Structure 1
Amino acid sequence: MSRNTELFDRACKTIPGGVNSPVRAFRSVGGVPRFIKRAQGPYIWDAENTQYIDYVGSWGPAILGHAHPEVIEAVQRAAVDGLSFGAPSEGEIDIAEAIAARLPSIEKVRLVSSGTEATMSAIRLARGYTGRSKIIKFEGCYHGHADSLLVKAGSGMLTFGNPTSAGVPKEFVQHTIVLDFNQPEAVRAAFEQQGNDIACIIVEPIAGNMNLVKPDAGFLETLRELCTQHGALLIFDEVMTGFRVGPQGVQGLTGVTPDITTLAKVIGGGMPVGAFGGRADIMDCVAPLGPVYQAGTLSGNPVAVAAGLVTLKLLSEPGFYDKLEQQTRKLTQGLSEHAQAAGIPFSADFVGGMFGLYFRDGIPRSFDEVSSCNIDQFKQFFHGMLEQGVYFAPSAFEAGFVSSTHTDEVIEQTLAAAKKVFATL
């Protein structure tokens, strides 16, 4: 029995499904998950000491590669002084100032411990600020596992959603309207019918949780226009894209300014951190200044803040994002060329250090189009690449990530492996 299998069997006895987050279980691709022992740069090693080129990157945070020496040093230095205080520390101010300096849409920011906590709090804030109950989200956009967000579209365009998880009463999602991504007219119709009751729109401005799906030209601009017109707030969920696709996230790439932004992943440099921020008049509604309650024992954890501060500093080096985008382009173009040569229906897209792979002709624009991908071919590709020492996300519905340590040599090794695998599909 392999060491990974042994660990998985053992884990299943005390951990539901043997994992602490569902996608890790390999259920959508089959097989036994790899239990990771260590990571360095663009590589991870499993429990059997098998090395893989990693394109998951802890689902985005490892933009500098794993175990960057300056980040590790900052964490070690902070840990010596204590792991948690439950009281304010100067580092919290430093990272709040760093975030606000980089994102003009943010005047004030509240630190939390996860992306889920950030989006949950942002929606509560939007409801408290507007005095309204209903929210709009989009099919395929994932904003964490808060009850009101675990919802799928109803049977009609403007019907309220149905829970997608047991344990979520229908009453918890009765105020959630689920629409199709990249369909601005549906959003316009929702506001025409229920605009006085809509507190906010929450959107991944570039989706990463139904694989990578970019907004059509004008889509985000329409969301901004409608929110302004009807007195609702626009929330950009940049938990995944924040400081990953560019120095100012998607809002910097598009010029569309949200009222509230949620962040996580990169701002923690691999440690558990989240944040939500926006205009001062909105953020001043949060306790202790305002009536919207939010609290967290580990919010602004000094060790996590230390990792995030060093990460943000290193991302500010001249040319960082240009180089990252260049490497991601090499990867996606190379994969597309090898798939085409093998006669495999395939397309790929990217932005910054984030990419999507689709086993279909043409880049998808919505959840339905992503769902039309050849999932069986993806599974074969995933396991074939795993055997070749390349670790992609174990799901056809997840974006991938490139780090600054994915050198030309690493990309070339990946493409050589992909050429072999495509030939077998």
Structure 2
Amino acid sequence: MSQHSSQEKLIGNTWRGKTSEELFERAKLVSPGGVHSPVRSFRSVGGTPVFFASANGATLTDIQGKEYVDYCLSFGPLILGHRDPEVEEVVRETAGLAWSFGTAEPYSLELAEFITNQIPWAEKVRFVNSGTEAVMSALRVARAATGREKILKFDGCYHGHLDALLVKTGSGLAGESSSDSAGISAHSIANTLVLPLDDESVVEELFAKEGKDIAALIIEPLPANYGLLIQRKEFLLKIVETAKKHGTLVIFDEVISGFRTGFQGMSGLLGVRPDLVTYGKIIGGGFPVGCYAGRKDLLDLVAPSGPVYQAGTLSASPFGMRAGLATLKKTQRDNVYPIIEQRTKTLTEGLVSILNQRGDQEWEAVIHSSLFWLRKKTSEPVRRVDQISEGHKEGFAKVFHALLNEGIYLAPSGYEVGFLSFAHTDLVISKTLEIAQKALTKN
């Protein structure tokens, strides 16, 4: 082996000149399904996943140099777009300071102070490495604080892949919960109760029977992992009231909606003060960061202040802390939210108009802030999983591939939502609609 080829393998350029199909076959030999998170496999839409080599602004570039307008945005973190220049400058500076400390450092302090100063219900925060880890830790705190075992979640909300919450509704009022994954023991989910969304009465009925044993009610106040299931404000306020009446802690999972639907997330929009809240995605500026936050007395139960143990070697990475702070500051300074919300409306109105020219079915877009979900039009709002139209998955797959072929990248599942960023300028939106007109009106 020549010195050149040996060095090339060492620095990781063995993919150059290859196709996505070739790399996917290689990847399947060394990773489950060839990916490191299931949705990336394209199994929901069919075909071979595209392998991307770089990204900038609103654009992804694949390994062969083809550019795509990106409306997946790493599933939400990149509210300023890929490699925002101001954030990139901070990241480059950080690379010259430290990669990881494993010690006390000032960067997490600055981000924690920024969050707690801006969000009244986040009296203290603890940084972790993912949304899953944040939820797992928040539940542990809730059980310790209440001395109770049971957790109530809602069908259609996703809270990460921890055993206790990877469950689905079974039969019966409280959902004789059943595992939504192999490898999860009955013991792990024995204390997880599951109810449908959008039904206050079953929540009240459950609490009347089991309220004294429920440590926490956890919900995505904007469910965005099984389509965009926008909930009625009345429903959300009622279940919060019911939980608090029974001494049950309320956990809002705002890993997606936090700093996406506004600076104070759904909690701020609803006027709700959750006992605990989980954040992720945007707070890391594109790096792996999560956190759980909430009442001071609850967070003070966490080690080393209290008896609830939680630790993490790479927690509060300087890259995530500094990139996250730079992202949040720019988002606030440049009044990003109303701008990208208006652009989301412009984009989706255009896409729906183009889709409905096809005549095969009538489409609509569900939008909230800068999140959107394309689906078949229904006579009533879709607020629960069982209300999603039959054939939605197959219909979306056709749209997905038609757009992909022409250079528009959506999340590769009909049940994932789309996102806009500040980098999606009016010019980018106009270009997208031109491409979509060509892609979606072909015979």
Same topology, TM > 0.5: yes
Aligned position for 2:338? 322
**1:396 lines up with 2:390 in the alignment:** no
- CA deviation after TM superposition for structure 1 residue 359, in Å: 2.4
Give CA deviations for 1:105-153 in whole Å, capped at 9, x if unaligned.
1100000011110011111111111111111111111110001011010
Aligned position for 1:194? 210
SS of residue in 1 equivalent to 2:313: coil
Letter in 2 for 1:252: G
Letter in 2 for 1:259: D
Indicate which of 364, 367, 374 corresponds to 1:350: 367
Quick check: 1:23–1:395 contact (8 Å CA) kept in 2?
A: yes
Indicate which of 157, 171, 177 corresponds to 1:155: 171
SS of residue in 1 equivalent to 2:198: coil
Aligned residues between the structures: 425
Letter in 1 for 2:312: G
SS of residue in 1 equivalent to 2:269: helix
Aligned position for 2:399? 381
Quick check: 2:44–2:393 contact (8 Å CA) kept in 1?
A: no
Aligned position for 1:103? 119
**1:335 lines up with 2:335 in the alignment:** no
- CA deviation after TM superposition for structure 1 residue 257, in Å: 1.6
Give CA deviations for 1:70-94 in whole Å, capped at 9, x if unaligned.
1111112112122111111111111
Quick check: 1:333–1:348 contact (8 Å CA) kept in 2?
A: yes
CA distance in 2, matches of 1:250, 1:39: 29
Aligned position for 1:414? 432
Indicate which of 1, 8, 13 corresponds to 2:29: 13
CA distance in 2, matches of 1:389, 1:55: 11
Q: 1:380 to 1:402 in 2, by over 3 A?
A: same
Deviates more, 1:103-112 or 1:68-77: 68-77
- CA deviation after TM superposition for structure 1 residue 190, in Å: 1.1
- CA deviation after TM superposition for structure 1 residue 2, in Å: 6.2
Give CA deviations for 1:266-296 in whole Å, capped at 9, x if unaligned.
0000001000000101111111111111110
Aligned position for 2:186? 170
SS of residue in 2 equivalent to 1:329: helix
RMSD over aligned CA atoms reads 1.5
- CA deviation after TM superposition for structure 1 residue 333, in Å: 1.5
**1:75 lines up with 2:91 in the alignment:** yes
SS of residue in 2 equivalent to 1:53: strand
- Gapped regions of structure 1 (runs ≥ 5): none
Quick check: 1:109–1:277 contact (8 Å CA) kept in 2?
A: yes
Q: 1:314 to 1:373 in 2, by over 3 A?
A: farther
CA distance in 1, matches of 2:390, 2:291: 34
Aligned position for 1:112? 128
**1:311 lines up with 2:314 in the alignment:** no
SS of residue in 1 equivalent to 2:277: strand
Quick check: 1:240–1:263 contact (8 Å CA) kept in 2?
A: yes
Instruction: Determine which structure has more spread, i.e. the larger CA radius of gyration.
Output: 2
- Gapped regions of structure 2 (runs ≥ 5): 1-16
**1:4 lines up with 2:20 in the alignment:** yes
CA distance in 2, matches of 1:373, 1:349: 17
CA distance in 2, matches of 1:424, 1:173: 49
Quick check: 2:59–2:70 contact (8 Å CA) kept in 1?
A: yes
Matches within 5 A, 1:24-423: 24-343=40-359, 344-362=361-379, 363-370=381-388, 372=390, 374-423=392-441
CA distance in 1, matches of 2:377, 2:356: 11
- CA deviation after TM superposition for structure 1 residue 374, in Å: 2.2
Letter in 2 for 1:147: D
SS of residue in 2 equivalent to 1:128: helix
Quick check: 1:210–1:370 contact (8 Å CA) kept in 2?
A: no
- CA deviation after TM superposition for structure 1 residue 373, in Å: 5.1
Q: 1:371 to 1:117 in 2, by over 3 A?
A: farther
CA distance in 2, matches of 1:71, 1:173: 41
SS of residue in 2 equivalent to 1:201: strand
Deviates more, 1:269-278 or 1:299-308: 299-308
TM-score when scaled to structure 2?
0.93
Quick check: 2:133–2:290 contact (8 Å CA) kept in 1?
A: yes
CA distance in 2, matches of 1:326, 1:198: 41
Letter in 1 for 2:388: V
SS of residue in 2 equivalent to 1:350: strand
CA distance in 1, matches of 2:174, 2:339: 43
Identity over the aligned pairs, expressed in percent? 46
CA distance in 1, matches of 2:158, 2:194: 12
- CA deviation after TM superposition for structure 1 residue 367, in Å: 1.0
TM-score when scaled to structure 1?
0.97
Give CA deviations for 1:308-358 in whole Å, capped at 9, x if unaligned.
010011011143111011111111111222233333221112122111111
CA distance in 2, matches of 1:416, 1:278: 45
CA distance in 2, matches of 1:220, 1:361: 23
Letter in 2 for 1:306: R
SS of residue in 2 equivalent to 1:341: coil
CA distance in 1, matches of 2:216, 2:351: 39
Quick check: 1:106–1:277 contact (8 Å CA) kept in 2?
A: yes
CA distance in 1, matches of 2:120, 2:366: 28
